[in-house]
Amino acid sequence: MDSDRTVGIDDHDVDEVTLVARGIATAVAPEGGLTDVQAELLEAIASALTGVSVDYRTLEPLGPEEYADILSGRDIVYRRRIVHHMVLGELVLRPIPVVVAHRVATYALALGVNDDFVRVARRYAQGAYGLAWMDLQRNGFVEHVREASGEEPSDKVAPRGSAADPFEPAQVDPELAARWSAFEGLPPESLGRSVWEMYDGRGFGFPGTPGGAPKYLAQHDFVHVLADYGTNLKGELEVFGFIGRADPDPKGFAWLATLIGLFETGYISSAGFFDRDVRERNIRAPGMLQRVADAIGRGKVVCDRYGVDLFEVDYYDLAARPVGELRELLGLPAKSTAAIEGGSAGLFDLEGMSEHQRRVVAQRRGDET
Amino acid sequence: MNRNFSQTITVRCDDPAPLLALIAEWDLNQSTGEIMGYMGTRVLADREKLGHYMIIADFGVVDPNVSAADEAARNNARPETRAFAERVREIIDGEPEYHHFDEIYRTDR
């Protein structure tokens, strides 16, 4: 992987980065000022994306109209990504003060950005967790995340009435299952063989088999291999932060926002299976802010160099090629020193697995000896 | 203070299933609709009076300058809300009975 992290980082003027940061900080600050987690997360992201270090705690306020004037020369994609940074800054608060959620909506409106997650954050702030949950459920995310949390996989073949396009319910598909099984015969270090080892080692059911992951969601497992992220919740935060920012369409932000809303702040803990994960405080864990920021930074590099939604890549066509070669194709940089020092685990590291996954791996290794 | 507001609607009907389906459909539409004060609904079945139900619709603050009660009033004026109320009337017996409350205590706040 490319270890030169300055490659892909645009030349950014310190004054410009500071102006952008001022607007974000003003929008998301609670009454007592930015919290430590907000400041550190936003600083880490700014640094990963621009190479510029900004102290978010000392910025002067900047109102929505003035902010909109400053960003008027920027296109809607850029402005929407700025709004997403604001939403991230909100989502790490619990509770989200109504005044903050309303203020972020005001900034989004001034910037001409209409975004679903501004609305979801306002529902969290209001306390309308049920409505927010219904909104999030539409993306069919629940089962996948449930597995990543270390719980026993449920029968995902059963139709899920809430699943909506593009997340079709998992189907038993012998042809698809055969394609995944055939990955076993591919050369070591190839993408297909690596993803096969990931599934086989952890006891995951192949897509197309009863209980297997839906084909669409299984796409992100190829990204676990390529970006070398673990499959516990910390790894999922990294991989979806990466995928979301690698998507040229800002809609990819939904992945990270959903994960944080579900597991970090536990806004929908009443749904029953999130409590343990909320207690773990994944994003507040030591090193995680740097890991997530680095994943977003790596995603931006891939977005600039490759420019394709990683959920839409035909990995089956690429499966026989070496992982290293595909990383070059994507322009995928190595993890930063800060992310590695922060504990970013590789796909096959035990530290990158949930307790359930570790038990399966240990059992299988025991069976083999 | 972000004081919530609740509207209770007491109704009578032999079979609550169509009522529940209607409310679930309403919630689904609200979940992706324009942000407003509506937070959600509970439906309670009266154990002493079979066929009597209480619908509790909760409203909260989404704009620091607008109270939850005012949000509810705005909601009440929306065409889709009026259409929903008409559909409720079609599946219940008699007239619904409305009451309005400000929330002054909640355990989980």
Question: What mean pLDDT is predicted for residues A347-364?
Answer: 92
A169 upstream amide cis, omega within 30 of 0 = no
**Cα-based angle A272, A240, A314 (whole degrees, multiple of 5):** 120
| pLDDT (tens digit per residue) in B47-58 | 999 999 999 999
Residue A351 is predicted with a pLDDT of 94
Residue A99: which of B30, B39, B64 has the nearest Cβ? B64
ipTM associated with this complex: 0.89
- Chain B: residue whose CA lies nearest to A135: B31
The verdict on B28 touching A (C-beta cutoff 8 Å) is yes
Strand order in the sheet with B52-59: B38-45, B52-59, B5-12, B93-102
| pLDDT (tens digit per residue) in A201-225 | 999 999 999 888 888 889 999 999 9
Question: Is residue A6 very low, low, confident or very high in pLDDT (cuts 50, 70, 90)?
Answer: low
pLDDT of B8 over the 70 cut: yes
With a CB cutoff of 8 Å and minimum separation 6, the contacts of A367 are none
pLDDT of A99 over the 50 cut: yes
Lookup: tokens for A327: 């990383």
List the end-to-end C-alpha distance of chain B, in Å, as a whole number. Answer: 12
Residue B33 is predicted with a pLDDT of 82
The answer, as to whether pTM is greater than 0.95, is no
pLDDT of A328 over the 70 cut: yes
Cβ contact A128–B60 (<8 Å) = yes
Cβ contact A131–B61 (<8 Å) = no
| pLDDT (tens digit per residue) in A240-251 | 999 999 999 887
Residue B39: which of A99, A105, A128 has the nearest Cβ? A128
Residue A267 is predicted with a pLDDT of 62
Question: Is residue A200 very low, low, confident or very high in pLDDT (cuts 50, 70, 90)?
Answer: very high
| pLDDT (tens digit per residue) in A129-172 | 888 888 776 654 444 444 444 544 443 333 333 333 344 556 78
Chain B residues close to A99, C-beta within 8 Å: 64
Residues of chain A whose C-beta is under 8 A from some C-beta in B? 98-99, 101-102, 105, 116, 119, 122-123, 125-128, 130-132, 134-135, 138
With a CB cutoff of 8 Å and minimum separation 6, the contacts of B97 are B9, B10, B11
The number of beta carbons lying within 10 Å of the beta carbon of residue A321 is: 17
The rounded Cα B72 to chain-centroid distance in angstroms is 9
Question: What mean pLDDT is predicted for residues A178-184?
Answer: 97
Question: Is residue A11 very low, low, confident or very high in pLDDT (cuts 50, 70, 90)?
Answer: low
- Chain A: residue whose CA lies nearest to B2: A98
pLDDT of B20 over the 60 cut: yes
Cβ contact B35–A123 (<8 Å) = yes
- Chain B: residue whose CA lies nearest to A104: B63
The verdict on B92 touching A (C-beta cutoff 8 Å) is no
The verdict on B63 touching A (C-beta cutoff 8 Å) is yes
| pLDDT (tens digit per residue) in B63-79 | 999 999 999 999 999 99
